[in-house]
Structure 1
Amino acid sequence: IYNNLEIWLFTVLWTIIFFTVIYGLAGIWAWFVFHKYRWSFLVPIGFVTVALLTGFVSGTTVGLVLAAIYTFGSFKISVWIPFLWGLIQALILLMGCYSTITTVL
C-alpha cells in the first residue's frame, strides 16, 4: 500500500470488522440473557452501533499514525500491517473487558 488514504482505509475497515464481530457476539449473548423483555431485540443493535463507532474512532487514530510513520520513513506498507493492527486493537479491547469483569466479580 502506497497511499495514505489506503493505509487509513484498510486499518479502519479491519478494525471495524474485528470490533463488530466481538461486540456482535456480546450483543447476541446479552439478547439471550434478556430475551424475555419486550425491547430485547434492540440490545444487539446497540452493541453493533457502539462497535461501529469505536471501531471507526480507534481505527482512524491508528491508521493515521501508521500512515504518518510509513510516509515519513518512505517505507512501503504491507497489506498485513493494517490487518494486524486491527487485530491488536481487538485483543486490547478484549483485555479491557476482562479486567472490568474481574472487578465486578
Structure 2
Amino acid sequence: MATTPSTCNNYPPENYHSPSFPSLHWPPQDELHAIYTIWDSWRFTLLWTLILYAVFHFGAAGIAFAMQIGKPRSVWKYMLVVPVVYGLVAGAEALFTGSIVGLVLGAVYISGCYQMPTWIPFIWGWINVLILIVSSFTIQGGL
C-alpha cells in the first residue's frame, strides 16, 4: 500500500477530513475538498465508474427493449433478463477498472505529495466509459 513519503511536509493538512461523495466543488484547488489518501482516491474513482457504467449499460438495455417493440409476446419473457445481465456486467467491469485506476491515481498523487481535486476521479470515470465504448467496436480493414 502506498504511504506518504517522508519528504512531504504537512501532507495531508492537519484539519483534513475525507470529503463526502460526490463533492464536486469549484474551484477544484480547494484544500478542504481535495483527496489526500489512496483510500479516498480508490473510493471516489470506483463510485464514479460504477455510476457511469450503470447509466450507459442500462441505456443499452433500454435500447434493446425498444428494438423489441412490435415483436411477439414470447420474446418479452426473455427480455426481462437483459437489464439484470447488463447490470451485473456493468458492476463487474466497473469494479475491475475503477479499482485499478483509482489505486494507480492514488499512488501517483501520494508519491508526488499532490492534492487530488475531486474532479479527477470523476474525469477518470468518464475516461473508463469512453474506453469501454471505443473498445466495443470492431476494427474494420486489415492487412
Determine which of 63, 83, 86 is the counterpart of 1:47.
Answer: 86
Q: Deviations over 1:70-96 (max 9, x none)?
A: 111111100000000001111111111
Give the length in aligned residue pairs. 101
Segments of 5+ residues of structure 2 without an aligned counterpart are: 1-34
Shift of 1:21: 0.7
Secondary structure of 2:113's match?
A: coil
Q: What stretches of structure 1 move > 2 A for 4+ residues in a row?
A: 31-36
TM-score normalised according to structure 1 size? 0.88
Q: Which has the higher helix share?
A: 1
In 1, the alpha carbon distance for the partners of 2:98 and 2:64 equals: 25
The code of the aligned residue for 2:125 comes to G
> Considering only aligned residues, what root-mean-square deviation do their CA atoms show, in Å?
1.5
1:14-93 correspondence runs (5 A): 14-34=48-68, 36=73, 37=75, 38-93=77-132
C-alpha distance in structure 2 between counterparts of 1:20 and 1:80, whole Å: 19
Determine what percentage of the aligned residue pairs are the same residue.
Answer: 36
Deviation at 1:31, TM superposition (A): 2.5
Query: Could you tell me whether the CA contact under 8 Å between 1:18 and 1:86 is conserved in 2?
Result: yes
Using the TM superposition, give the Cα deviation of residue 34 of structure 1 relative to its aligned residue in structure 2, in angstroms: 4.0
Which structure: larger Rg?
Answer: 2
